[in-house]
Amino acid sequence: MRRSIRLDKEYIVHSYLTEDELAIKEFLAFNEVDDDDLEPFVDELLQKFVEEYDPEMDKIKKIVLLWCIRILTLGDEIEVNFKCKKCGNVQDTTISLANLLRFPEIDSDEVPTKFVDSSEPIEISDEFYDEMDIDDFEFYAKNLYSYYIVYNTKIHFNCYYCNEDHFTNLMSFKKVLQFMSEDSYETLTEWLHVLVYFGHLTRNDVLKMTPVQRMLEIKYFQETKKKELGDQNGN
Ligand SMILES: [Zn+2]
């Protein structure tokens, strides 16, 4: 799958495969690194999934592109596992990534497109205003968000038990890489083994599946096994 994303210019991004999920989870499992140390690894990924990728771009733009690729491949929901800081209950919650990024709605060819963190007050450079007459000024003031790529560093969610407010910052290399697979490295390798050993597939067949195809394959495998066991028990 491919999709065109309009940031400061048009980017064509591609979805990734099971082999990429595995490589990402393997890298995270075996490398204890700071967010900035992940940049060379991220550049390699973006080189592969973004046409005409420029490694000199800002970090925030790289993170936005990674999230776009993740959403294209696995959809715009993530499961977050957390322990409530107030009542201590451990739980899962689903977060929609629609709250994470908002792209300009109006064709903004004439306007410099900037990345704005909506958790912070928006600052606009003086040069931006200096070039406008008063009519333009009013128009842009009204439609401010239409001209910016807005990202949100604080995604809020509530405790299921006590309703305590929590938030998470998803705008880091580490966070987006973690969410590029719903499975851990151990689970991925285990399922790879099971599908090859019992599923009559080659390792390469599985690695070249999209993550969604692989998850379906696992589901069918589990259903078939269950049915077989049922048949053996005479049901
Ligand atoms: Zn709680």
Q: What does the pLDDT look like over 114-145, one tens digit per residue?
A: 777 777 665 666 665 566 666 666 666 656 66
Measure 187 CA to ligand 1 centroid, in angstroms: 29
Measure 177 CA to ligand 1 centroid, in angstroms: 27
Q: Which has more pLDDT, 129 or 78?
A: 78
Q: What does the pLDDT look like over 195-231, one tens digit per residue?
A: 998 888 899 999 999 999 999 998 998 898 888 888 8
Q: What does the pLDDT look like over 145-165, one tens digit per residue?
A: 666 777 888 888 999 999 999
Tell me the C-alpha distance between 76 and 60, whole Å: 19
Q: Strands 90-96 and 77-83, how do they pair?
A: antiparallel
Q: How far is CA 46 from CA 2, 14, 54, 63, 66, in A?
A: 13, 10, 9, 10, 7
Measure 167 CA to ligand 1 centroid, in angstroms: 13
Structure tokens given for 25 = 């989870």
Measure 154 CA to ligand 1 centroid, in angstroms: 18
* pTM, entire model: 0.82
Measure 104 CA to ligand 1 centroid, in angstroms: 36
Measure 98 CA to ligand 1 centroid, in angstroms: 24
Measure 85 CA to ligand 1 centroid, in angstroms: 7
Tell me the C-alpha distance between 38 and 27, whole Å: 10
Q: What does the pLDDT look like over 10-62, one tens digit per residue?
A: 899 999 999 999 999 999 999 888 999 999 999 999 999 999 999 999 998 99
Measure 227 CA to ligand 1 centroid, in angstroms: 40
Largest interatomic CA distance in the chain: 82
Measure 102 CA to ligand 1 centroid, in angstroms: 29
